[in-house]
Copies of this chain bind each other. A is one copy, B any other.
Amino acid sequence: MEFPKDKFSEWYQEVLEQAEVVDNRYPVKGCLVWRPFGFKLRSLIAGYLRQLMEATGHEETLFPALIPEDALKKEEEHVEGFKAEVYWITHGGDTPLDVKLALRPTSETAIYPMFSLWIRSHADMPLRVFQIVNTFRYETKHTRPLIRLREITTFKEAHCAFPDNASAEAQMDLINKAYSEFWDELGIPFLIVKRPEWDKFPGADYTISFDTIMPSGKTLQIATSHNLGTNFSKTFNISFEDKDGNQSRPYITCHGISDRAISSVIAIHGDNRGLVLPPRFAPVQIVIVPIIFRDREEDVISTTRKIHEKLKTKYRVVLDDTNDTPGNKFYKWELKGVPVRIEIGPKDVDSNAVTVVRRDNLHKESIPLDDLVERLDNIIEDITASMKEKARNEFESRLITVSSKEELSAWDGKPVVVKAPVCGDESCAREVEGILNKEFRGTELKKQGKGSCVICGKPARYMGVWSNAY
């Protein structure tokens, strides 16, 4: 059975279920179950993210999921942005609650009241905390597993406070670097975009977003980073004594990555046989399949066991010695994206070698037992590099740069992302939206537009990005 990836939407749902990443049959729309195999993939990716956050000075914490109505409603723009999506708890048992409780859609309004208790002096900053939690949004749009959920099961949100805007800006740079490292390691290509004023996070001064391109040609926002300025400091009355003894408001930034980290890895690297997982994050890195012939059962089994013992000190290895046929085993572990398969049959035993098959390109070779560990290291390194390159090439093939208005219309409704130089006026960005039938995602960060604005012809200041988006 194959999973044709050209029908991406069906492919995605089918592979998620068949590879036992999640079970989407839970009886609440937009909520799903992480199965053991998927949970391990999630843990490996979240573990790496946690490590990156700690290495950049963020400390892990955990804040409550319940937010009192008055705290949530304090920041006007913010509550307006989330109003339609907030789940409200109104009763405990049969008792109506005195104060309605919101189930966190995001945690600014849970965390900043505590910041107001913790921040007294400039010496209390920089304050950098993060948590990895479930958050809840009553989505009215079409839900999609790990992409648009009503319970986001894995929301890494960092919240930071600084004594001045320069430090907050340095934090925005720090996160851009850390997030770039994260996505590079997952082999997920991205654009870094400054969102337009009309599409920024509710309550933010500005919003930076990491967007990747899915096989459908639509963008997926995979990370966001917000400079909230002093907006929330004012709302939650956070202040500190600065070095000169004056009361001042801290600058706050926040930075999020969700379940989409896992969905993008699945969507971008997978193929017609199912998952293709980057070795660093694969729950099973190597599967060993004995190829049994009747009269040679014992020595094949004993060889596979020896190799299993040797490899498992270094890799996450499974020895599949179930009674299934080799063909069914190949199918199963390919579907689960295991980077390397080792086959061992009588011929391999006789020649003191094993057969190694790469999941990414299905290339097969015989490797002498004595060289196995060293060669596996090379193969795994090469798989990682090849997967990144393939993903990068596909990304580039879906990213079109145009320099004139005439070129734009060719891409109307096409499954690509379009970049074009713009002057920076909303009207020009909006006009391009109309021509392309795509949304303006914003302008590429720290990249200047070359030439002139594709609409008005004035000198270009930015590279604009347009796409259909999840």
Chain A residues within 8 Å of B, Cβ to Cβ: 23, 25-28, 31-36, 39-40, 42-43, 59-68, 71, 83-95, 101, 103, 110, 113-114, 117, 129, 134, 136, 138, 150-151, 153
Contacts and interface: CB of A to CB of B under 8 A. Distances in A.
Contacts of A129: 36
Nearest to A111: B33
A350 to B, nearest CB: 35
Contacts of A26: 63-64, 110, 113-114
Given A27-B113, A88-B92, 20 more contacts: A25-B114, A27-B71, A28-B67, A28-B101, A31-B66, A33-B62, A34-B61, A34-B63, A36-B129, A39-B60, A40-B60, A64-B151, A65-B136, A66-B136, A66-B150, A83-B94, A84-B94, A87-B101, A103-B103, A134-B134
Contacts of A95: 138
Contact of A60 (B36, B71, B110): B36
Contacts of A91: 87-88, 90
Nearest to A149: B64
Contacts of A86: 92-93
Interface of A is mostly: mixed
A141 to B, nearest CB: 13
B103 A93 contact: no
Most chain B beta-carbon neighbours within 10 Å: one of A28, A62, A90: A62
A43 B60 contact: yes
B64 A31 contact: yes
Contacts of A67: 28
Contact of A153 (B42, B62, B89): B62
Contacts of A36: 59-61, 129
A28 B138 CA distance: 22
Given A61-B33, A113-B27, A151-B64, A89 B87 contact: yes
